[in-house]
């Protein structure tokens, strides 16, 4: 599958008891060498953390869990997971949701693209990608507008800035100021890809079909949408000091 032999899939969870066991099983069924799963659970009252702990006892070498005392948000969950994966020495780190909106089989394509780039992202808005067919028009329109809004204001070279299905090289995350990332809703996804682009990291997109969750409740709220709208303007100011790596297309990717 490529040059990566030690891959960590970071999955933040809050009340995903109906999904997590099946998701982990499907991830480990993929024909990828060196796959590991790290769950960051925000004290789910439905017992998600206990389920993962049970799975970990059966497969301690490949399954890990970080249990946090309260619901601290998506952004901090991912940063915590990324930092743990980096400490453990993983050379590729995948982020994905636990609700099957991100199809596990697409991890294979993300890893193929990561062989050629610094970060690979799942995209709903390139040919071959799409949103759930059952979504109402207003919800699809809101999603499309949110992505165009972020893309235009931040001058992003990607078509899906708000999606959370991504694969990162170890060196890419090490080169990013993760300690400065403070978005804690879906604006976190925008902030991370803005940082990667501003620093000059190469980004490739993989199309996928975004299916709405089959079990459990959506975490989306008006507060999260509002944060995503105003945070893009703050990002421009907060990261005005960052300089691009200025790597040319002919320069080899660092390993």
Q: pLDDT tens digit string along 202-236?
A: 999 999 999 875 544 554 555 556 666 788 999 99
Q: What is the pTM of this model?
A: 0.89
Contacts of 195 (CB under 8 A, 6+ apart): 176, 177, 181, 239, 242
Annotation: CATH topology of 7-238: Spore Coat Polysaccharide Biosynthesis Protein SpsA; Chain A (3.90.550)
Q: pLDDT tens digit string along 18-58?
A: 999 999 999 999 999 999 999 999 999 999 999 999 999 99
Three-state secondary structure readout of 187-201 = HHHHHHHHHHHHCCC
Q: Quick check: 137 and 106 in contact, CB under 8 A?
A: no
- What residue ranges do the domains of the chain occupy? 7-238
> Which pLDDT score is estimated for 244?
84
């Amino acid at each position: 599958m490529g040059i990566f032999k030690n891959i960590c899939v970071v999955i933040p969870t809050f009340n995903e008891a109906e999904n997590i066991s099946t998701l982990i099983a499907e991830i480990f069924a993929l024909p990828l060498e060196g796959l590991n799963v790290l769950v960051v659970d925000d004290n789910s009252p439905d017992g998600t953390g206990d389920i993962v702990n049970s799975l970990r006892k059966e497969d301690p070498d490949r399954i890990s869990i970080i249990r946090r005392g309260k619901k601290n948000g998506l952004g901090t969950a991912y940063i915590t997971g990324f930092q743990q994966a980096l400490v453990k020495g993983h050379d590729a780190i995948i982020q994905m949701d636990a609700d099957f909106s991100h199809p596990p089989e697409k991890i294979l394509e993300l890893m193929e693209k990561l062989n050629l780039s610094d970060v690979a992202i799942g995209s709903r808005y390139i040919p071959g990608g799409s949103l759930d067919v059952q979504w109402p028009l207003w919800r699809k329109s809101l999603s499309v507008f949110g992505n165009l809004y972020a893309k235009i204001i931040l001058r992003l070279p990607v078509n899906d800035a708000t999606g959370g299905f991504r694969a990162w090289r170890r060196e890419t995350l090490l080169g990013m100021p993760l300690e400065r990332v403070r978005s804690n809703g879906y604006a976190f996804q925008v902030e991370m890809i803005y940082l990667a682009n501003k620093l000059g990291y190469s980004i490739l997109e993989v199309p996928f079909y975004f299916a709405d969750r089959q079990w459990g409740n959506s975490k989306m709220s008006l507060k999260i949408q509002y944060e995503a709208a105003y945070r893009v303007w703050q990002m421009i100011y907060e990261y005005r000091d960052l300089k691009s790596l200025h790597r040319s297309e002919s320069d080899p990717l660092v390993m």
